[in-house]
Amino acid sequence: MPSQTPQPAFVLVRPQMGENIGAAARAMWNFGLDRMRIVAPRDGWPNPKAVAMASGAGRLLDEARLSPDVSDALADCSFVFATTARQRGLTKPVFSPEAAMKLAAEKITAGEKVAVMFGPERAGLENEDIAKANAIISVPVNPAYGSLNLGQCVLLTAYEWQRQVGEIEHETVDMGKASWATGVEIEKLSEHYEERLEQAGFFFPPDKATNMKVNLRNLWSRMALTNADVQMLHGVMRQMVRWKQRGED
């Protein structure tokens, strides 16, 4: 069963290589998309090479809706994007993958059925197919090169869908087993260093001592230490004290 998550359908139009159909399924499922439609695949259907390549995303192939032509595949869709690698001389809005998936998300939220067409590997979509779309998606590749294959184009579009709808945290910290040091721990660390450095004659001359202590405390609190870091810094100071106490050698 396809997921209930609202999402665009990805329509592979006359795909040629089974491997690429499988790669497209993997690319989609990596980003939580599982509604594939396939129009007139060159090598028939089902395709064992697609299944082999789809490892883990084979369900998308089993559930894919097969259509004899583009019109049939798009029959229930109210807004359709066509992906193209080059300008086609058709008067139609052209979106980046980002802007397209943003619009798709808005339309889907509003209850529309949205589809994205991907053309056959060799030549891409025919102008006749593109004429059935409301808008074009063009990936802004290096103008001097431009060599995205079907799976890569599906991957980038699916990624942008996920970016638009996902609960993506842009920056987090992988803490492992550590946790941030608490205020008390930082305070105790400051005191420990201050006490020992005082003994060691670090805060000199006396009229600068207060300022030096403030700067040191400030350093600890600015560093975003974990409790493990704090323990290690305590250990450093204890070791220096032990070394001192052992006397010169």
Question: Would you count residue 136 as binding its own copies (CB under 8 A)?
Answer: yes
Q: Which of 142, 207, 246, 248 binds its own copies (CB under 8 A)?
A: 142
Question: Would you count residue 30 as binding its own copies (CB under 8 A)?
Answer: yes
Binding mask 78-117 for its own copies (x = CB under 8 A): ---------xxxxxxxxxx-xx------------------
Determine the Cα–Cα distance for residues 43 and 9; give it in Å rounded to an integer: 22
Question: Would you count residue 178 as binding its own copies (CB under 8 A)?
Answer: yes
Residue 19 CB neighbours (<10 A): 18
What is the phi/psi pair of residue 226, to 5°? Answer: -90, 170
Torsion of CA 68, 71, 73, 74, to 10 degrees: 180
> Shortest approach of its own copies to residue 181 CB, angstroms?
11
Of 40 and 100, nearer to its own copies (C-beta) is: 100
Of 110 and 145, nearer to its own copies (C-beta) is: 145
Count of positions (residues) in the chain = 249
> Shortest approach of its own copies to residue 148 CB, angstroms?
6
What is the phi/psi pair of residue 65, to 5°? Answer: -90, 125
Of 2 and 72, nearer to its own copies (C-beta) is: 2
Residue with tokens 């004290």: 241
> Shortest approach of its own copies to residue 249 CB, angstroms?
34
Determine the Cα–Cα distance for residues 150 and 92; give it in Å rounded to an integer: 22
> Shortest approach of its own copies to residue 96 CB, angstroms?
5
Chain CA centroid to CA 144, Å: 26
